[in-house]
Structure 1
């Protein structure tokens, strides 16, 4: 079997029973279950959700997204072997640790397969909640150009590239395009301030103004739990992105929960601590692949400049990368997942068929 066969690149064509269009993001696809199937599973499996909650099957892929584009490689390689399983395994591990530490719940109700989550529909907070403990990436590029205010936070003089910040910084951005908010451009992923959120909390889907401080607490607590666990295995948690939403539990209580993935190499920067002490940056995250792309193409501005998105899309579509670029990501993701979870990540021989079989036999979701 070729490597390309072991990669789940297309994940929106599974024969899962659904009555709505499949929602396909950069990496995950969401299949909304029918009312009958949602209610049946809630009863059969005893999920702690409202009896009329809408459930979905979320299937991860091995696709590789960077700079808002999906990349492919020579030899028909449309993704990274082991990536999907590694990301899910890491998120599952952190969510379990959150629960053990008394933090908020997540949207995940069940894990039928390494590529699959059964989730409950949440009302998302329209914020990419970003936490930074070190100054690097876009923040460093802005700082180096002389900018000292970041998301309404004043940064001190004299900070050095890749150095630890005086405190954990929360630098939120918009999730999706939000309209009609004074001072916030109508564009995806624009930096916002705490004042923007407080003055327009309903527009960001917060139920109450006081929930803003609750989300900040969950952000700091989640970052702290992951950071401590990573330090114990010789890794530095540099920065990350969290997402939050509201759900109602079986008792009818509404609560704020963690959504999407957490603490993965896709949504975070993770550095090797021993290398950092020696003055080197060894990335155990997608950042290494981003750096590869910036060095691989003659005009890196295409990747960094949002005004050049059509050129960037063409670059990703028309260029098959060296297969080794994908395999390097595969090695990084599998190694960090095994380090974090203490469990081996095994490549599925035929992930699509495995998913179909388990959802048919144990969940009755495939005819």
Structure 2
């Protein structure tokens, strides 16, 4: 098989039966099932949800997004070999570990294929829940310039780059553009404080004020479970982003669950432990790819300056990245996944055809 054929770059054109538009994000596409198919699968598969719960097929891709753009490589490589399967395998492992440790459920009901989740519809909380154990990246750049307050938390003087923070910090930001919230600009990805959330809990999607404590508890517990497991692999869990939402259980009660992906190289920074102890940073996450891009292009400001977005989009569109750079990213993602999940990430010769065959044969979702 050719390397390009093993990559699933376009994931919003599968012939999955749906009566709604396919929602396609930077990496995943979501196919909402018809009410009849949702009810049928809930009954046939015994999913632990109310009979009228809307279900969706969520298909991951191998696309690589950085600085809000999709990048590609030489030899018509439109994504990173193994990336989608690696991300799903890592998330699946952590969600299972969360359940074993008595944490909250996730939105995933079934995993028909390494690229595919069957998920239940959730009511999302409009907060990117970010946890930081080390000072690095944008926080360090701001700290170095003299900033000491982050999301309502004041950091002490004298911190150094990449050092462990005195405590785990929760530094939330907005998910999507939220309007009408005092003191919160109507922009995506704006830093907010716990006080902002408490004063406007309903606008952020919380059903009751006490759930703010619960979301922070689940964030810290989830971070702790992943951090401890990665430490056994001599990997440092630096920071991460979680997302949460509500679902209705079989008894008609609302419950808070984990959504999207958790603890992956896309949503987290992960450092090699041995290198860190020697005073070096070896990134086992997408941060390494971002650093490569900053070094690869002559004018890094194009990637960092939001006012130069048209130039950035042209840069991503018109430049095929070197094959070895794409494969370095592939090795990072599959390497982390194989350590975490404990099994090899196999590349399919034609993942799209495999997905269609399984969803037709085992789920009757393809006409």
Q: Does residue 190 of structure 2 align to residue 183 of structure 1?
A: no
Residue 103 of structure 1 aligns with which residue? Answer: 103
Pairwise mapping of residues 268-287 of structure 1 onto structure 2 (< 5 A)? Answer: 268-287=268-287
Tell me the residue number matched to 2:293. 293
Instruction: Kindly state the Cα deviation for residue 152 of structure 1 after the two structures are TM-superposed.
Output: 1.0
After TM superposition, list the pairs within 5 Å mapping 1:12-23 onto structure 2. Answer: 12-23=12-23
SS of equivalent residue, structure 1 residue 156:
coil
CA offsets, 1:283-336, max 9 Å, x none? 110010000000011111111122222221111111111111111000000111
Specify every segment of 5 or more residues in structure 1 that has no aligned partner in the other structure, as ranges. none
TM superposition shift of 1:256: 0.3
Report the aligned-residue RMSD: 0.6
- Provide the residue aligned with 1:144 in structure 2: 144
The alignment partner of 2:265 has SS state of coil
Do residues 236 (structure 1) and 236 (structure 2) align?
A: yes
> Match of 2:266?
266
Output aligned runs, 1:264-343, within 5 Å: 264-343=264-343
Residue matched to 2:69: 69
Deviating beyond 3 angstroms after TM superposition, the runs of 4 or more aligned structure 1 residues are none
Secondary structure in 1 matching 2:140:
helix
Q: Distance in 2 between matches of 1:361 and 1:126?
A: 37
1-structure distance, mates of 2:43, 2:18 = 19
Does 1:252 find its partner at 2:249? no
User: Which whole-Å deviations, capped at 9, do the CAs of 1:227-276 have from their partners, x for residues lacking one?
Assistant: 00000111110000000000011221210000000000000000111111
Distance 1:300 1:349 in 2: 36
Secondary structure of residue in 1 paired with 2:30: strand
How many residues align? The count is 367
In the alignment, what sits opposite 1:365?
365
After TM superposition, give the deviation of residue 17 of structure 1 in Å: 0.2
Deviations 1:3-33 (A, max 9, x none): 0110000000000000000000000000000
CA distance in 2: counterparts of 1:210 and 1:303, whole angstroms:
40
Shift of 1:68: 0.9
Q: CA deviation at 1:66?
A: 0.6
Provide the TM-score with structure 2 as the length reference: 0.99
Between the aligned partners of 2:306 and 2:145, the Cα distance in structure 1 is: 18
Q: State the SS of the aligned residue for 2:233.
A: coil
Whole-angstrom distance in 2 between the partners of 1:199 and 1:299 = 42
Counterpart of 1:3 in structure 2 is: 3
- CA separation in 2, counterparts of 1:306 and 1:267? 21
- The 3-state SS of whatever aligns with 2:168 is strand
Report the TM-score when normalising by structure 1.
Answer: 0.99
Residue equivalent to 1:129: 129
Local SS of the residue matching 2:244 = strand
In structure 2, what is the Cα distance between the partners aligned to 1:265 and 1:205?
A: 27
Q: Which residue of 2 aligns with 1:93?
A: 93
Structure 2: which 5+ runs fail to align? none
**3-state DSSP of counterpart to 1:349:** coil
Q: Distance in 1 between matches of 2:247 and 2:334?
A: 32
Question: Corresponding residue for 2:355?
Answer: 355
Q: Are 2:47 and 1:47 equivalent residues in the alignment? A: yes
SS of residue in 1 equivalent to 2:223: helix
Q: Secondary structure at the match of 1:243?
A: strand
Higher mean C-alpha displacement, 83-92 vs 311-320: 311-320
Deviation at 1:95, TM superposition (A): 0.2
Superposition pairs of residues 18-37 of structure 1, within 5 angstroms:
18-37=18-37
Quick one: distance in 2 between partners of 1:182 and 1:314?
Answer: 36
